[in-house]
Chains A and B, each alone.
Chain A
Amino acid sequence: MAVSSLELEGKPRKKRRVLSKRQQKLRANLVAYSFIAPNFLGFAVFTLGPIIFAFALAFMHWDGSNPIEFAGLDNFFELFRDRPFQAAFWNTIVYTLFSVPLTMACSLGLAMLLNKKLFGRNFFRAAMFFPYVASLVAAAVVWNMLFNPEMGPVNMILYTMGVDPKNLPGWAADKDWAMVTIILFGIWKQAGYFMVIYLAGLQGVNRELYEAADLDGANAWQKFWNVTLPQLAPTTFFVSVMLTINSFKVFDQVYMITQGGPGTSTLVLVYHIYNEAFISWDLGYSSMVALVLFVLVLAVTLVQFRYSRSLD
């Protein structure tokens, strides 16, 4: 009896200890999940859910109020008949092809300049950065006024510099210049942000390599080309991915400056998505265009990742 009672006493205790270990683990997990829950619930409902919904919607017909109908690949084939979509697609590509390298060059240039020991360097850095944080609506209004074809100061200056009035650019109002205007605005707005990232990258450049280059008698340009640029490759990669994603998503500045016009000269993918969804209420089709945008972003990101790996 005594033995068995001991056994009985011992067993539950042992069992309790096992359980309590499990309970402890469960408790630790619950604590961890409780940390994540506030953010994750919001994130799951308002971001993850809609993302899954977006992919499904691309294969549906829906105007937002009548019942949803399955569309199969209808929306996909519609892409090939939709002229504005094609214009938007190519405009987005053109915007990206010009805006990404130009913004990169400007940001790197600014970073090289402001990496030097200059009096008031922090002020200059903040000044370059400010367009990025300023309200886009406000900035675009000023931009529209400065680049007004008839009375804007920019054309006035060009005129006083001797440009024939007939050859003055029409900026946002001219279909040949509208995209240029959008690209210039984008560079001005974003260059400061990527300058900061390049400045951080420059901190990581190995000083000794410059000394070695000095010993070899390299000039400034050779040092930039053979030391700085290769050392900055990871930063450049990051900047190029971010800029490409940004330029595929360009919308606000188009909406504020040209509304996609004149004609379809500055219509871009997001603008088309917006029109199809909130103007035409063709939600299925607009999700299909969004799917194209997503595939484009994904493809470019993967290519850039592959390319960066081949650099190493």
Chain B
Amino acid sequence: MNYIFKRLSQSLLTVFVVVSASFGLVRLLPGGPMDYLRAQMIQQGSDLSSAEINRRIAAQTNIAVDEPLYVQYLDYMIAMVQGNFGQSIWYEEPVASIIGPAIPWTVFLTASALFLAFTVGISLGAFMAYKEGSSFDIASTGIGLFLNSTPSYVVALLLIAFLGYRFQLFPTGGRYASELTTGFNIPFLASVAYHGVLPIMSMALVGFGGWALSMRGNSIRVLGEDYLRVARLRGLSTRRIAIRYVARNAILPMYTGLMIAIGTVFGGAVIIENIFAYPGVGFYLIQAINARDYPLMMGGFILITVAMVIGITIADLTYGWLDPRAKGGGSRESY
């Protein structure tokens, strides 16, 4: 219980730090976003009074420049807590109503890709470890090494060039066919899956090689352990040994890697979403950068971070259930 409390407060602290840092980035940088916004407004309408400019900036960024700095900071933080991330300059809509609906789409892509890569990777890796030294093992290791050395966007570009344009097998962009009605009907869901194939494939293909290689290494190490010999001597079934003894112990060390992978999927999705013109969070983030739409950019970044904090917190809390040894650790003062 104490552990859960500590973990949750840590997550809240992370969000707090990120939001504060975003305030610092927008407000305090000389020549930064604030100066840019002001310069742009002066350029657009020179007849605007200074107070009017300040009012517009405040509406867009939640920062009222004529107040004292700590009041600006407090107002900004309160607005964020209320879910007010400012007003997008480019789309002229609240940031939350642009980014919010995009989050599930990004999570759909990244979670499916990570799940596919992880399950295929560890099954393949375990199988390679059992067949260690065979030609299957050598061939898979080679393929794994090669895929592990390929960035996901390269795969995406190749897939879109060949399967998308040359052979016209899959759509080259978008989330679903535009003529369909959204909702839980079969044509719509099929269209979503169909449009998701290429983006998910490009992320999963490069991921599974790495998982397979580390699973293979870990399994080979576990296969040499004494407790496994004991398990065999006890006459346990091969299935039980493979799942309860080998797989479980081989997967645990990959947990840190899984956490980091959850962290990088949003980053990976930024590039993939732009290649496939898939309106997820990363797509809007890049749109915002290109249009110098700072409220949308910062709001998008904060929302991506919050989504990730939630994801990692859930993963972290379930880990104690997976590995009872995980709690505590090196918390005592030693030297």
Please say whether chains A and B are actual partners in one complex: no
Q: What residues make up the interface of A, taking CB atoms closer than 8 Å to B? A: none
